[in-house]
Structure 1
C-alpha cells in the first residue's frame, strides 16, 4: 500500500519522487518511504536502514539523504522505519528489514514483468521468473542491521545483489584501537557499549524457521556465500577498525568486497552533502560514492570487456 508520490525538494526536485508505504510483516505493517528516480524506471530495489544507535532516527529524518541515494544509484530506495529500542530489542529490527526485503523482491519481480510486457515480440510467460536486482544497505546502526539481514538471506537461500554498509559498528565490546585513537569523537566507546546493551537480547534468538538472526555479523562463524559488499568509513571514525576487520573477514571468506576510507571524515557522513563534481551534485560525498558503487556493481556486463 502506498500514497501518491511527491517531488523531493532541494537538488533532487523533479529527479526523484517518493511515497509512503506500509510493508506487511508478521508483527504488523512496517512504515517506509519509497524513493524512485523520476526520469526512468528503477534499475533495482534497495532496502535502506537508517542510523541512530537502534534508539532513534527515522525515514523522515533521513529523507534528503535517501532521496539523493536513489537519484545517484538509479535504484528505488525503500527507507524503513524499523522498530526501535526501548519498545523492542533485537531481533525485531532485523525482522523488519527482512520483511522490507521480501516486499521489495515482490516489487522487483512485478517491475521486471512490466518491462517484459513492454518489449515487443516477447511473451510474459517466457521470462516470468526474472527480477530486478534487490540489495540491502544502511548507515551506522542501520548498516549493522543490513549486514545481519544479508546473512539471514544467505541462510534462507534468498537472492541478494549486494549489501551497502556505511560505517557499521560491529563489536559490542568496542575493543578496536580506533575507539581509543579518537576517544572524544562521536560515537564514543562508552556510548556505543550502552547502545549495544540496549539493543541486544542475551538469548541470541533464532527465527521461527530455526535460522540464526545475528545481532552483529561478527557472531557468524562462516561468512561464505553472503552477498558481495560495499563498505565505507572515515579515517576519523571510531568504528573504522570494525569496518576494516569485517572487510578482511569477508575477503578471507571469498566474498567480493569494495572498501573505501574517506579522509578527514568522521561518523555520520552519510547525512552530509558532498561538493559538486562533474558527476552531478553530491557525487563526491560518501553517499554519492555508495550510489555510484551500487550502480556499477549491478550494471550488466559489457560483452568483450
Structure 2
C-alpha cells in the first residue's frame, strides 16, 4: 500500500506482535490520581494495548472502514478527539479495528480475557451470547492507565475498540453524535438486557451506531439531527422498569413526562437539557427506546 510515496506495511498476526514489541519499548504512562498523560504518552500506550490484543486474538485486522489493512504507520496519523468520559476540555485517542470471525467464539473470548487479566486489566462482560439473536459476545477491559478496550466477536466478524486515557487539550466541544450516543447507551444500561437496532435482529453496538448519518430536522430543513430506535427485552414488571428509568433520568436533570400508563405497558418521554428527547416504552412483550438529538445547522 502506497501513501505519500512511502510503502506502508500491512499488519497480520506476526506484524502486530512486532508493533507491540516496538511500541512497548517506549515508556508507557501509568496515571496516578494527580497526573495525566502527555499526548505522545497517551498515543503510544493505546497503540500498545491495541497491538497486544490484536496479536492475542489473531488474524488479519482492518481499520473500521473494513477495507484498509491496519498498520501502525496509519494509526499514528490519527488525531485526538474530545474525551467521552469528561466534561472538561480533555482529549483522547480512539480507534476501531475489524477482524475475522471465529469458529469457536467462546475460546476466542477466553483467550483475550485471560491475557487481559494477566496484564492486570479489569475485565467485564458487556454483551453475553444470546443464541436467539446472535452468537456475538462482547467484553471490555478497564486499563490501569485509564484507557479502555472492547473486544466483540462472533462467527462472522470480530472488532476491537480502543480508547486512550484522557489528556489536556485545546478547548473543543463534544461532538453532537457522541453526546447523543452517550444518552442512548446510558438508558439501555439502566434498562439492562440485550438490545437490537430497529430491525429487531442486529445487536446494538456503539460502533454500528456511529455509522448513522444525520437526517434533515423535521422542524427546520436547514438543520440536521440524529435519531435512533432500539428494541430491548420484555419486562416482567413494566411499572417498576419505567419507575427506575424515571428516577434515573430525573437524577440527571431531565424533564420526564408520562405518555401512557396501562396495566400492560407504560411509556415515558424525557427532555434533556441539551435539546435531545428520549422516549422509553416498557411492556410484558418488549421494551423500546426512541431517541432524537437536538437540531444543529447542517455543515456546508
| Fold in common (TM above 0.5) | no
Structure-2-length-normalised TM-score: 0.29
In terms of fraction of residues, the more strand-rich structure is 2
